[in-house]
Chain A
């Protein structure tokens, strides 16, 4: 049963601090200086991190703002490359985008479903087939043919989540479940997540809601000071984290 689908091996990730090199004018007129600055000024977001996520489990990541949680998701998704170490991922990945990400304001809900679905890895044919189900799940009614600039943020969240809910990923990355939906829709999201879980989708779940973490996750990793502070049972990790933060 313990079949790792995500493996981090001694992974470090640093970001270059580009403000030193942000202008072509500066680059041209002080070339060597900016090159040196470019090499030296890096910010290390993660240092020497190793962990595994197993097939079918829901893996929570917690930690303070700026701890490096989103960076880890970026590394898993393959949009970031580790500075050192190795990241191995097996399986089709889907990410829940932030509010309005992958949408265009001038397009209708229906057009945005197509856009979003394609960006998330579906073909046109697949989106067309799922279109009705997605629209029904979103409960947006006739607003679906309105441009999404008239949507409220809760309605946007519905649209975004509805697309993701109809994907069939092997690995799902969630950075903050959308909390702007109303109670009804939040429950629906949670149900859908549990559904994914039941169907064997591996979920990596970043959240600041300890409630949700405890409710959904099988294991939790706590990131502190660019490093793993603790991995283990949700209850235990969460209570240690809360104690740590409050002290």
Chain B
């Protein structure tokens, strides 16, 4: 194998491994904490919407979890990405390695963590007398790839721009929170009034999250949603990579 490519791959492996080691340093406890976060959210929404506001939906807990877990990956990565180059300033100022690997390793780590949480979803499926479907075998890899592109593209964009506009971090945190409520996670897309329903297509993550939930809960994938999220994934990725390419040679002088 080309030695440059080999080193590139090794960089990705070691940096991702590093991120994981840091996250799971106290091994099992690290895992529990990371799962506790979306579960706590699920509990809060369950109490707010099911117990108090009496939303009319079966298996609401399961419904919440199937959307919250993939969302957690998106929001964690994007929020972390804002400060990621600043956190690695000392190596970026001295070493000439491909900088995009820093956010990539972080995103991959969040992806792996998300995969690790799928068993929790399975447990909840069983609790609600459902079972995983065979279609997961292709559905999960397809959606993982689409989400990887979206999350990585967004992270590249946010991490690069944040070096030049240091308060972008705050803006991003606000936007991610807003996006959460505009994405059908605590409600289903069918609950949106008909005349506004087209709006979810303007949200790059909505078709993706809807697809995740439908794979997890019913084992089905809607081709239309799949195509839209793929188109979003490719555009976001190329946009993010373009911005990164344009700015990366100046990282060392603004850090």
Contact = CB atoms under 8 A, between A and B. Distances in A.
A97 B90 contact: yes
B25 to A, nearest CB: 6
A119 B165 contact: no
Contact of B92 (A79, A107, A114, A121): A79
A131 B54 CA distance: 61
Contact of B91 (A22, A80, A97): A97
Contacts of B92: 79
Interface in B15-42: 15, 18, 21-22, 25
B interface, by DSSP: helix, strand, loop or mixed?
helix
A118 B98 CA distance: 12
Interface in B49-98: 90-97
A124 interface: yes
A102 B171 contact: no
Residue in A21, A24, A93, A98 with the greatest tally of chain B CB atoms within 10 Å = A24
A101 interface: yes
B164 interface: yes
A104 B22 contact: yes
Contact of B94 (A98, A118, A123): A98
Given A15-B253, A18-B254, A123-B10, A97 B94 contact: yes
A23 B167 contact: yes
Contact of A102 (B11, B91, B253): B91
Interface in B92-111: 92-97
B14 interface: yes
A25 B14 CA distance: 37
Nearest to B167: A23
A106 B96 contact: no
Nearest to A117: B14
A114 B21 CA distance: 13
Contacts of A79: 92-96, 251-252
Nearest to B254: A18
Contacts of A106: 21-22, 25
Interface in B201-224: none
Interface in B158-176: 164-168, 171
A22 B165 contact: yes
Given A23-B165, A79-B93, A120-B95, A107 B254 contact: no
Contact of A22 (B18, B96, B166, B250): B166
A118 B95 CA distance: 11
A100 interface: yes
A23 B10 contact: no
A169 B24 CA distance: 35
B249 interface: yes
A52 interface: no
Contact of A107 (B18, B94, B166): B18
B227 interface: no
Contacts of A84: none
Nearest to B253: A15
B195 interface: no
B7 interface: yes
17 contacts: A21-B164, A24-B171, A25-B167, A27-B165, A77-B94, A79-B92, A95-B95, A98-B94, A101-B91, A104-B18, A104-B22, A106-B22, A107-B18, A115-B14, A118-B15, A123-B6, A124-B10
Enumerate the 9 nearest inter-chain pairs by beta-carbon distance, A residue then B residue, closest first.
A101-B90, A24-B165, A79-B252, A78-B96, A118-B14, A23-B167, A124-B10, A102-B91, A95-B94
